[in-house]
């Protein structure tokens, strides 16, 4: 692992797995456009990351759910495109 230029001396370079736990998201078993009584949990897709617009909802079965203060990232292939801190939908872009 290479060192980061201009990094403060008291910092350390670590692998992601050394400082947190992570899990890849899964496509929900049930997904509907628009919020309903049956599907009231927002599904976080690329549109939600880019624009903060939640258009699809799930019932939460067979999918990963996030909690307040979770750090979310789009992890598609080798690229990490977006990082988002989940706290009442406050979006943070790298």
pLDDT for 46 equals 78
Q: What is the pTM of this model?
A: 0.63
What is the mean pLDDT of the segment spanning 62-87? 68
Could you read off the pLDDT of 1-43 as tens digits, one per residue? 566 678 788 888 888 788 888 777 778 889 999 999 999 999 8
Structure tokens at 60: 């939460």
pLDDT for 93 equals 39
pLDDT for 78 equals 54
Query: What is the average pLDDT score of the chain?
Result: 76
Round to whole Å and give the CA distance between 92 and 49: 9
């Amino acid at each position: 692992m290479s060192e980061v230029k201009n990094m403060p001396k008291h910092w350390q370079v670590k692998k992601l797995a050394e400082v947190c736990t992570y899990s890849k998201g899964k496509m929900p078993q049930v997904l509907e456009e628009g919020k309903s009584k049956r599907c009231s949990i927002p599904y976080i897709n690329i549109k939600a990351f880019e624009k903060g617009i939640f258009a699809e909802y799930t019932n939460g079965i067979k999918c990963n759910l996030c909690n307040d203060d979770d750090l979310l990232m789009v992890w598609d292939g080798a690229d990490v495109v977006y990082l988002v801190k989940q706290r009442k939908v406050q979006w943070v872009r790298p």
